[in-house]
Amino acid sequence: MSVLISTLSFPFLGACWRRRPAAAIVLAFMAIGLLTAPARATTIERVVSPGGIEAWLVRETSVPLVTVEFAFTGGSAQDPAGKAGTANLMASLLDEGAGDFDANAFQDRLDRKAVQLSFRAGRDYIRGTLRTLVENRDEAFDDLRLALTQPRFDTADVELNRAQILSGLRRELKSPTDLAALRWWETAFAGQPYGRPVGGTLESVPKITIDDLRAYQHRVLARDHLTIAIVGDIDADTAKAMLDRVFGALPAKAQLTPVAWAMPQGGGQRINVDLDVPQTVIDFGGPGIARNDPDFFAAYIVNDILGGGSFTSRLYHEVRQKRGLVYSIYDSLLWYNSTAVFIGSTATRADRADETVGLIEQEIHRLATDGPTADELAQAKAYLNSAFVLNLDTSAKVASLLVQLQLDHLGIDYMQKRQRMIEGVTLADARRVAKRLLGGGLLFTVVGRPAGLASAAPESGGAKPAAALPLPMGGAGELR
């Protein structure tokens, strides 16, 4: 399969510089050369190792670099009961010493060879990225193997990372943006895994033991729920050997706890969180549409028309351009293994919060009732098609996309089909799906001191309304 990929550069140099300046210098020169590479069609190849491990490969020989992106099903949805943040803490420690190398020795190995290795936890997945020069790939592959199969979890490193996470959680309790998001998810998924914060809470993180970290590692980091993409100067045979070398020693099967499908609750509810800050942050949203739903592309287009990030969206036009109430406003469709949500966010002056919430509700209701116009549909299609291609400008983005396509079961020919699927959405489709996506009640979480904006109960059904909540003294985690 052939796909037009413009260039394969590296946007991670800032983070790399902060941690390993020598690696950043080397990779900066490589990135400069890579940015001058001409655009051309690149083949996505499915490769399977002798041990049966599959990956999608894009071979790019213009610059001697290799990126490996991978994901394990798991994430915070697999955190043990009462120990939210286990996945996040474990992921933060995978590059903090492995095998015979303590944290300092392991980081020195990475630095000497200009290798970047990182791990992160989300709600559904543990994801990782390896980037290396071709000449150092053998040692880089060994480092990745050690990190995945023999992480040390030394006490000093665990406590240092735990302290850093707890410090971040305390800062979040003073951040209106973080509080609005945390309270929205907590309310929408009360009692469900998605209602737990990925980073954990001030109560749960101190309870996580080293045994918990090792147990999570052995349960989740397994080959049967592993997805891999490789981009760079590496041929198929070398890639196949690497797959067995790096991932072959992992357990064959994960031990995952099933997560039941759950849709966000609280439609029609508005929750105020009292915080003394200059601006009021407003999060809003409700049920979304799953990635495998036949209506997904129609919903994707409707979302873009409403507030999907372009300057022509209705929310941007009505709330910012016409009235100057906010600096930015956006909404997104998010899909997970066991839920789908429509969610948006903005910030405004405290004395304009009531007006802003009213306008958001008005525009969403108007689009749900009347649907988009023919001109809006055409503009959204053109934007989504062009933006998609232009966004594939780095090897990291290409590798991340290839992993996501596999996780979403979209097929190796997806990029050939995507434009046709978007163009196939009719005006009737968009209007029907606008009503389906936006016709229900919205859950609002409002953080700040909005003048005249009271908490509201659901119009019918839903969760019990909450009164305006003061920020707890001492940084307790009641708002998470």
Residue 37 corresponds to which tokens in the numbers above? 């590479």
**Distance from the Cα of residue 266 to its chain's centroid:** 23
220 and 318 in a common domain:
no
398 and 344 in a common domain:
yes
In whole angstroms, what is the distance from residue 68 CA to residue 55 CA? 10
User: Does some domain include residue 252?
Assistant: no
301 and 220 in a common domain:
no
Pairing mode, strands 226-232 and 54-59: parallel
In whole angstroms, what is the distance from residue 72 CA to residue 219 CA? 11
Domain boundary residue, one of 216, 247, 278 = 247
In whole angstroms, what is the distance from residue 403 CA to residue 412 CA? 11
Domain boundary residue, one of 184, 216, 247 = 247
Q: So what's the pLDDT on residue 393?
A: 80
Provide the pLDDT confidence category of residue 309 given band limits of 50, 70 and 90: low
Mean pLDDT, all residues of the chain? 88
Q: So what's the pLDDT on residue 463?
A: 36
Burial class (CB in 10 A: 0-12, 13-18, 19+), 131: buried
Q: What are the two backbone dihedrals, phi and then psi, of residue 151, each rounded to the nearest 5 degrees? A: -65, 145
The 10s digit of each residue's pLDDT in 360-371 is: 999 999 999 999
**Distance from the Cα of residue 440 to its chain's centroid:** 25
453 and 325 in a common domain:
yes
Domain that holds residue 389: 270-475
283 and 228 in a common domain:
no
- More confident: 23 or 11: 23
Across residues 282-302, what is the average pLDDT?
97
pTM of the model: 0.86
The 10s digit of each residue's pLDDT in 437-470 is: 999 999 999 999 987 666 665 543 333 333 333 3
Number of domains in the chain: 2
DSSP 233: S
Q: So what's the pLDDT on residue 55?
A: 98
